[in-house]
Structure 1
Amino acid sequence: MRQNLPTWLTLLRIALLPVIVVVFYLDAHWARPLSCFLFILAGITDWLDGYLARLWKVESRFGAFLDPVADKLMVACVLILIVEFDHSPWLTIPAIVIIGREITISALREWMAEMGQRGKVAVGWIGKVKTTAQITALSMLLYLHDLFGLPIYKMGMFALYVATVLTIWSMVGYMKAAFTDAPEEKS
């Protein structure tokens, strides 16, 4: 396994998760904005690691494996924090949909890879838009406070529902791609 800056950025994204959790639970007025900042920083590394890997032609199988794992860990971790904080079905339901989709698509990709069809469920543009929408929504929900008179938390709730719709849309697209002319599984 060859280490390079893009891989280290992905590992940094994973390492930031416990820091975000600790900061989230601190009893200070600045804790939620700081956890939001750290989450945004982690989100930036998501974009930067892929960009640099392609630019420098250092893409690796390990990086291709680790990047979506880091994304899923990041989103699931923050969803759980926010659901635990809010105790609202209006947050719980989208969280279940988003986490359920991530598990389903991960399993689908593994199954398709076993059949030599991994390319049929490669990340597409809608998956990238979905991830951006999730990071945006979760950043707003983490921030919690109003900003310049804008109700950031309420905007984050709306953005979370947009992200949930994109989540379902991308899942349907991956399922269609996987099961259109899917090879028969050998018993």
Structure 2
Amino acid sequence: MNLPNKLTVSRIVFIPFFIVTVYLSGRMGHLLSAGIFVLAAVTDWLDGYLARSRGQMTPFGKFLDPVADKLLVIAALMVLLAEQRIDIVVVLVLVAREIVVMALREFMAGKGGGVPVSQVGKWKTGVQMVAITMLLLGDALFGLPLQPVGLLLLYISALLAVWSAFLYVRSVWSHIIEGAV
């Protein structure tokens, strides 16, 4: 197992530790949960960078990387929802988008093709990671009220999610229609 794949696996391993720290009381819980989330999110960028720059892309990594990303983000959204820091509608939009895009990728893989990551999808991910971090921090960072900004960014990421899903569907629509006939 190469380093990029180890980093991808580490993102999954971080999830239980992240969830436990969310439920620690007070400022320390907010700081630790946000710190673990950021560390895990950085592995998302780092594993891809290392895999591409070192020529270490593997079928295992291509499969597990998006799964690890979705598990981390969905875990964060679920704990934020459970703590009533975010609204269920935005969670449903974000999770539905991930299901649609993963289904499109699976569909296209079955046809011997792929669905390339769009620039809008990359923006969605970046905005979403910053939003979740801010929501996890709440006001634990020097008393700054990060919750309202985090919520705004999460709603922006939901809009980007819908837009990127539309772009993905549009890019493979001819294959979808072809497969339906």
Q: TM-score, normalised by structure 2?
A: 0.93
Kindly indicate whether residue 42 of structure 2 is the aligned counterpart of residue 48 of structure 1: no
Residue 116 of structure 1 is matched in structure 2 by: 112
User: Gaps (5+ residues) in structure 2?
Assistant: none
Q: Deviations over 1:153-184 (max 9, x none)?
A: 11100010111111111100000001046562
After TM superposition, list the pairs within 5 Å mapping 1:33-182 onto structure 2. 33-86=31-84, 91-118=87-114, 121-145=115-139, 147-148=141-142, 150-180=144-174, 182=176
Conserved? CA contact 1:33–1:144, under 8 Å: no
Q: CA deviation at 1:186?
A: 7.2
In the alignment of these two chains, the number of paired residues is 181
2: CA distance, partners of 1:181 / 1:106 = 15
Alignment check: 8 A CA contact 1:43 1:135 kept: yes
Report 1:13-32 matches (<5 A). Answer: 13-32=11-30
Give me the whole-angstrom Cα distance separating, in 1, the residues matched to 2:153 and 2:129. Answer: 10
Q: Distance in 2 between matches of 1:69 and 1:158?
A: 26
Shift of 1:104: 1.3
Shift of 1:123: 1.3
Tell me if structure 1 keeps the 8 A contact 2:124–2:160: yes
Structure 1 gaps, min length 5:
none
The 2-side partners of 1:30 and 1:17 are apart by 18
| Paired residues of 2:31 and 2:140 also in contact (CA < 8 A) | no
| CA gap 1:12/1:166 in 2 versus in 1, 3 angstroms | same
For 2:146 and 2:53, locate their aligned partners in 1 and report how far apart those are by CA, in whole Å: 35
8 Å CA contact retained: 1:83, 1:92: yes
Q: CA RMSD in A?
A: 1.7
Q: Using the TM superposition, give the Cα deviation of residue 4 of structure 1 relative to its aligned residue in structure 2, in angstroms.
A: 0.5
Note the C-alpha offset of 1:146.
5.3
Conserved? CA contact 1:146–1:153, under 8 Å: no
Structure 1 position 147, deviation (Å):
3.4
Q: Residue 134 of structure 1 contacts residue 160 of structure 1 at CA under 8 Å; is this kept in 2?
A: yes
2:97–2:165 CA contact under 8 A, matched in 1: yes
Deviation string, structure 1 residues 83-109 (Cα, Å, up to 9, x no partner): 010165xx2111110011101111111
**SS of equivalent residue, structure 1 residue 184:** helix
DSSP-derived class of the 2:178 partner: coil
The AA in structure 1 aligned to 2:92 is: I
Identity of aligned residues (%): 41
